[in-house]
Amino acid sequence: MDRPARIAPSILAADFGRLADEIDRIAPSVDLLHVDVMDGHFVPNISLGPPVISSLDRCTDLYLDCHLMITDPLAYLEPLKAAGADGVTVHIEAVPDPMPVIGEAHVLGLDVGLVINPPTPVSAIEPYLGEVTLAVVMSVHPGYGGQEFLEEALPKIEVLREIIDSRALSTDIEVDGGIDLRTAGPARDAGADVFVAGTSVFRAHDPVLAVEELRTILNQG
């Protein structure tokens, strides 16, 4: 496979009291950092926002992939950019017309992606695939880490891969939720490029080893 697999640990599963140490430890082994932003409205949980992203930006050079599980992403693009976000992904369920958010992200110089929840079909984001750098398939219901991978994400990844390849787009496919040594291979085979892993990395006895094992699986086949 000529598309490199990239690993994006989700800090949601890290110990927030020791965040800088937890990130330092895995930084040399990973490709980007996945930052889950939740507003308690689009999803029931509340996680973190621009002030924490600003601290993260000061403590790591890793690309900050900010997953916005918030009702009004457009209102927060500017503060997120100022805080040090490199890319944002927004839910199509939150912004049925994503073009204003995509346009504003481009103006600000942020990479932008679109996310689909488990019940949302690929067709919801298909018209915009040429405008975004990332198409994200949720393989859990958003809001919490540590959930079981939903197998129905796999055919959606396959369909996206087909569309992206047939249109010769450079859009990458990210899969988010329940990625571990059992589920990473099938997600890779289905056509994903970026693998978000929270629990299986940060809750592992040895997070660096967990990343290495994940990478071994992703590089097979």
- 179 φ, ψ (degrees, to nearest 5): -80, 125
DSSP single-letter state for residue 221: -
Is 172 labeled as catalytic in the residue annotation?
Answer: no
Among residues 67 and 188, whose Cβ is nearest to ligand DX5? 67
Q: Which is nearer to Zn ion, 36 or 39 (CB)?
A: 36
6 binds, among ligand DX5, Zn ion, none (CB under 5 to 8 A by kind): none
For residue 192, what are the contacts with CB-CB under 8 A and spacing of at least 6? 5, 137, 157, 173, 174, 175
Stretch that binds Zn ion, among 62-70, 91-99, 122-130, 200-208 (CB under 5 A): 62-70
Q: Would you call 115 helix, strand, or coil by DSSP? A: strand
Q: Quick one: which of 6, 11, 22, 36 contacts Zn ion (CB under 5 A)?
A: 36
Beta carbons within 10 angstroms of residue 73's beta carbon: 26
Please identify, among the stretches 16-24, 99-107, 172-180, 203-211, the one whose residues bind Zn ion according to the rule CB under 5 A: 172-180
176 near Zn ion (CB under 5 A): yes
Q: Which is nearer to ligand DX5, 171 or 199 (CB)?
A: 199
Task: Output the residue with the shortest Cβ distance to Zn ion.
Answer: 67
Q: Which residues bind ligand DX5 (CB under 6 A)?
A: 10, 12-13, 34, 36, 67, 140, 142-147, 176-179, 196-200
Partner that binds at residue 80, options ligand DX5, Zn ion, none, CB closer than 5 to 8 Å by kind? none
176 classed as catalytic:
yes
Q: From the centroid of its chain, how far is CA 119?
A: 18
**Please, which residues have CB within 8 angstroms of residue 191's CB and are 6 or more apart in sequence?**
157, 158, 160, 161, 162, 173
Amino acid at 111: D
Among 157, 115, 161, 110, residue whose Cα is nearest residue 136 = 115
- Looking at beta carbons only, is 111 or 176 nearer to Zn ion? 176
Which residues are identified as catalytic?
Answer: 36, 176
